[in-house]
Amino acid sequence: MFKIFIIEDDKQLVSLLKEHLHKFGYDTKSVENFETVRSQFEHYEPHLVLLDVNLPKFDGYYWCRQIRGISTCPILFISAREGKMDQVMALENGADDYITKPFDYEIVTAKINSQLRRAYGTYASSQNERITSVEGLTLDVERLSLSLSEQEIDLSHTEAKILDELMKKSERVVSRDRLLEKIWDDQAFVDDNTLNVYVTRVRKKLAALNIDDALQTIRGQGYRLVPNWGNRE
């Protein structure tokens, strides 16, 4: 049975979510003490998290980062905030999707099912596929780290997703639509500028490993990662 951890301070909404999810056979747990969200998460060990932005003590972005430090389980934000930057911040802090309130419970369930399939079911990667390496550049998706030689840097969840796709298709063009699909199930919420921001940040992370000009923009098509770091003198 899949376990859903609900981090939401609206008790009525929590009750309705639990009632709906129980109909589909999910086990649920909601937060009661908003000062100990991480420890409750570790104790419950959920398969997926539903997380609001506006919370007592610390906001949802903070708790998303805390969870990402110890887990790669799917995190879906549920929030009344509709601004583009709120959604960008959610993704940048490690979220997998963003659902605005008020929402249709059937849509929430469909998105939960989709994320669970990707993480644990039909579309899940095997453990051997969690590490991708190209010409000595190694991406550890579980640990959210990128290393080359003896250098290692940390990545955000979104940066890791983008690099995973680019490295698996090294020297081939990856379309913008494909990258958007990897970042977020519902592309309607993501515009071109959002992807540009992520790609810029990935380039900065590569530059931190002294990798320059490897991530190329192919106008009108997408992006290509060229392993030019393999021939260093």
Q: What pLDDT score was predicted for residue 188?
A: 46
In sequence order, what are the beta bridge partners of 160?
none
Spans in the chain with pLDDT lower than 50:
127-128, 186-188, 233
Round the CA-based radius of gyration of the chain to a whole number and report it: 18
Say if pTM beats, i.e. exceeds, 0.85.
Answer: no
Who's near 36: CB < 8 A, 6+ residues apart?
Answer: none
Contact assessment for residue 20 and residue 48, using Cβ atoms and an 8 Å cutoff: no
Q: What pLDDT score was predicted for residue 119?
A: 79
Q: What pLDDT score was predicted for residue 128?
A: 44
SS (H, E, C) the chain: CCEEEEECCCHHHHHHHHHHHHHCCCEEEECCCCCCHHHHHHHHCCCEEEECCCCCCCCHHHHHHHHHCCCCCCEEEEECCCCHHHHHHHHHCCCCEEEECCCCHHHHHHHHHHHHHHHHCCCCCCHHHHEEEECCEEEECCCCEEEECCEEEECCHHHHHHHHHHHHCCCCCEEHHHHHHHHCCCHHHCCHHHHHHHHHHHHHHHHHCCCCCCEEEECCCEEEECCHHHHCC
* Amino acid symbol at 166: L
Q: What pLDDT score was predicted for residue 191?
A: 62
In sequence order, what are the beta bridge partners of 224?
216
Q: What pLDDT score was predicted for residue 187?
A: 47
C-alpha–C-alpha distance, residues 60 and 56, integer Å:
9
37-44 vs 60-68: helix crossing angle, rounded to 10: 40
Give the mean pLDDT of the chain.
Answer: 86
